[in-house]
């Protein structure tokens, strides 16, 4: 179950709680970032994964009373890991051209940004593109369990490449690549043998 913060808040919170109670893996990208009052009502234990960019991660840390444990996305991730309310939640912090850092359990996984051919033209849909690929691939690879570091890295690498292709064209939906385009761009870096192998045709 993938949710973003573009539907009524009450619906989002109720859906997260209901999906978790039904044993469904939940992914939330709170963009745009909700108010502190709304964040106080979030059923954090119902979240399987929380996806944030650096700005959102900093805002959330401030609201939850945490602080970055170092510089950049890794410091933000470490700060989020130390927040009691986020215990057990998989965390992903995207950092644009610097790639992404994530955690599932105690480990930290880093993935570089995807290959960009030419200049970035429009970054409007990059976050949504990354999020969609992340949730889709995660559902194929690790239904109902925590991914290994290698599995998580594979998911993040493909999602990063998809987002890089996305920013090469104008528009949001129309710039999102299909899996075959991502696989072609990654070439030898494509994580062959993963559960989504047939999706890259």
Question: Does 128 participate in catalysis according to the annotation?
Answer: yes
Dig out the tokens for 170 from the structure.
């104008």
Q: Please write the tens of the pLDDT for every residue from 161-198.
A: 999 999 998 877 888 999 999 999 999 888 876 666 66
Tell me the pLDDT of the chain averaged across its residues.
Answer: 89
The Cα 49–Cα 154 span in angstroms is 16
Q: Is pLDDT larger for residue 3 or for residue 142?
A: 3
Give the position of tokens 């059923």: 43
- pTM as predicted: 0.91
Segment 64-74 shows an average pLDDT of 88
State the CB neighbour count (10 A cutoff) for residue 14. 12
DSSP code at position 42: -
CA nearest neighbour of 96 among 53, 137, 138, 139: 53
Sorted by where each starts, the structural domains of the chain and their CATH numbers stand as 1-111 (3.40.1190.20), 113-201 (no CATH)
36, pLDDT greater than 60: yes
- Say if CB 196 and CB 141 are below 8 A apart: yes
The Cα 181–Cα 116 span in angstroms is 13
Catalytic residue chosen out of the listed positions 59, 84, 122, 128: 128
pLDDT attached to residue 118: 85
Q: Please write the tens of the pLDDT for every residue from 97-154.
A: 899 999 976 689 999 999 999 888 888 889 999 999 999 998 887 666 778 888 899 9
């Amino acid at each position: 179950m993938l949710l973003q913060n573009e539907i009524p808040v009450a619906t989002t919170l109720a859906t997260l709680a209901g999906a978790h109670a039904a044993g469904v893996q939940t992914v939330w990208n709170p963009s745009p970032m909700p108010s502190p009052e709304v964040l106080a009502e979030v059923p954090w234990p119902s979240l399987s994964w929380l996806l944030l960019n650096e700005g959102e991660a900093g805002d959330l840390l401030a609201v939850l009373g945490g602080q970055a444990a170092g510089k950049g996305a890794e410091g933000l991730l470490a700060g989020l890991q130390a927040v009691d309310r986020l215990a057990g939640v998989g965390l992903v912090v995207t950092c644009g051209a610097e790639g992404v850092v994530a955690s599932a359990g105690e480990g930290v996984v880093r993935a570089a940004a995807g290959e960009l051919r030419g200049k970035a033209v429009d970054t409007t849909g990059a976050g949504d593109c990354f999020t969609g690929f992340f949730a889709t691939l995660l559902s194929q690879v690790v239904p109902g369990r925590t991914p290994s570091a290698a599995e998580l890295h594979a998911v993040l690498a493909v999602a990063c490449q998809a987002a890089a292709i996305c920013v090469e064209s104008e528009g949001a939906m129309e710039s999102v690549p299909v899996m075959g385009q991502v696989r072609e761009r990654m070439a030898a870096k494509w994580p062959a043998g993963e559960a989504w192998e047939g999706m890259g045709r």
